[in-house]
Amino acid sequence: MFRPLTPDDRELYMTYVDAFYHSDAVESPVPEKNYGATFAELMRGDTYLKCYIFETDGKPCGFALLSKTFSQEAGGVSVTIEEIYIEEAYRGKGLATEFFEWLKSLPGIARLRIEVEDDNEGAKRLYERMGFKLLPYLQMVIDR
């Protein structure tokens, strides 16, 4: 099960984001000040971001952070799963699958995107089972 993030979830969110950014799922951590900026944006509204807390038996066990843009290439709204993290004890129980199936069922979304480290074979297999396909181009950035 999953539910929208609430203002009361701040510490939980910070804990999960920190665990995610210190896991093998990412190449390197981001500055902790970014966690707070993201939480503040989440509390301002859902124009750009939406976050969900995963729960099992009423106990939190992970989160997913989504961002939204309009994609001319896709012909509509593109939602990127920026981060998805489930505590190790709760992995393999179908939580991510349930979440992805729900996302795919939402109207008004032309494209779902997700990033994955090249060596994260387990995640790549899950995403492929969910219908994600590899994009044939690289992304480039300028961080400011």
Q: 111 lies in which domain range?
A: 2-129
What tens digit of pLDDT does each residue of 46-71 get? Answer: 999 999 999 999 999 999 999 999 99
- If one counts the domains in the chain, the total is 1
What is the model's pTM?
0.93
In a domain, 20, yes or no: yes
In a domain, 77, yes or no: yes
Which own/partner pairs from 85-92 qualify as long-range (CB within 8 Å, at least 24 positions apart)? 85/16, 85/17, 85/19, 85/20, 85/23, 85/25, 86/54, 86/61, 86/62, 87/19, 87/61, 87/62, 89/61, 90/54, 90/56, 90/61, 90/62
In a domain, 21, yes or no: yes
CATH of residue 9: 3.40.630.30
What tens digit of pLDDT does each residue of 68-91 get? Answer: 999 999 999 999 999 999 999 999
Three-state SS for 1? coil
Residue 28 pLDDT more than 90?
Answer: no
In a domain, 105, yes or no: yes
In a domain, 140, yes or no: no
In a domain, 101, yes or no: yes
